[in-house]
Copies of this chain bind each other. A is one copy, B any other.
Amino acid sequence: MTFSFKGLSAFPITPMHQDAPDESRFATLISRLVEAKVDSIGALGSTGSYAFLTRSEREKIARLAVKHAGATPVLVSIGAINLRDTLLLAEDAQKAGVKALLLPPMSYFPLRDDEVFTLYETVNSHVSVPVVVYDTPGTTQFHFSDSLMQRICQLKHVRSIKLPSGSPTAEEASARIKRLLPALPEDVSPGISGDPTAGNALMHGARIWFSEWGGLFPRLARQLTDAALAGQKDEVARINAIFAPFWEMSARYGGSLRVIASAAEIMGLAGAHALPRPLKGVSAQDAEQLASLIKTHQPS
């Protein structure tokens, strides 16, 4: 199946066990996504700890994701600080059967515009599957100008952009999405990444939601996606309200990964210390709140 840049793309964590990926628990997470009928699976996104893993670990996890995803298409991030490594990762991923590649302008020294264009241009000329431009200033410190984004979107294999919803503020991000969308080529699918505003973005032109919490609560994210794409404002508000305390805690921890890993542990879907070191899960007090939220709403 080719990669469909629409609907719900769910991003599971890669649970760790003793400093290595926990392959059996990862496989279970993938199977849950397939059962929830997500449109695609974003393995090895930021939420999947791609930046913490070695090339061989990333290859193994990509193969595992493809195997357990069955007919559901898989994308992986090929982000690396060195462009040489990104090209190797792209080769590994394509050989593993991945249907699309997610490319952030990952860096050690924040990159400059011409360096970022060269990054996408070089990858574009080396790959045969679609590429998603991953705009994630919170981790890359890089801010795409509208004109650079439009130039990159002219590249043959670039088929989607994954925009942050809260950078620098939710209002500015929303204004940017409204400004960018009409200027994108027809074959480039606008996508939204920040969970809290995804419903709203899907009602206003975004075609795909790259969802972090959707990797753990795929049924709930599926409902939100369907309601938003059908323009059911009240239903979107109802589901947003269930997600809200999880999103609020994510914001307090500077991102979703730490909170999702703690929730996965509570749900028995990850072991203790499932985060790559030195990342830590939530405090005991917040873990209690998480457990109580999960008990109340039974999200799945």
Find A280's partner among B46, B112, B277, B279 (CB 8 Å cutoff).
B112
- The 8 Å CB contact of A278, one of B52, B111, B138, B139, is B111
Q: Check A276 against B84 for contact (C-beta < 8 Å).
A: yes
Q: Is the CB of A278 within 8 A of B119?
A: yes
The A251-280 residues at the B interface (CB cut-off 8 A) are: 253-255, 257, 276-280
Q: Verify B19–A84 contact, CB threshold 8 A.
A: yes
Contact of A108 among B83, B122, B139 (CB under 8 A): B139
Contact residue among B51, B83, B109, B116 (Cβ-Cβ distance under 8 Å from A139): B109
In the complex, A82 has a CB within 8 A of chain B: yes
**Chain B: which residue is nearest A20 at the CB level?**
B84
- The size bracket of the interface on A is 35 or more
Contact, CB under 8 Å: A278 / B46: no
The distance in angstroms between the C-alpha atoms of A84 and B278, with both chains bound, is 8
Q: Count this chain's copies in the assembly.
A: 2
Measured in the bound complex, the distance between the Cα atoms of B85 and A53 in whole Å is 9
Contacting residue for A115 out of B82, B139, B280, CB 8 A: B280
A130 at the interface (CB under 8 A from B): no
A81 at the interface (CB under 8 A from B): yes
Q: Which B-chain residue is minimally distant from A47 (CB atoms)?
A: B109
Complex: A137 Cα to B108 Cα, angstroms: 11
Closest chain B residue, CB of each to CB of A121: B278
Q: Are B278 and A108 in contact (CB under 8 A)?
A: no
Q: Is A232's CB within 8 Å of the partner chain B?
A: no
- Check A108/B52 contact, CB under 8 A, given A114-B280, A119-B278, A122-B278: yes
Can you name the residue of chain B whose Cβ is closest to the Cβ of A55?
B54
Docked Cα-Cα span, A117 to B130, in Å, equals 41
In the docked arrangement, what's the CA distance between A279 and B68, Å? 37
Q: Is the CB of A46 within 8 A of B108?
A: yes
Q: Residues of A at under 8 Å CB distance from B?
A: 19, 46, 51-54, 81-85, 106, 108-112, 114-116, 118-119, 122, 138-139, 141, 253-255, 257, 276-280
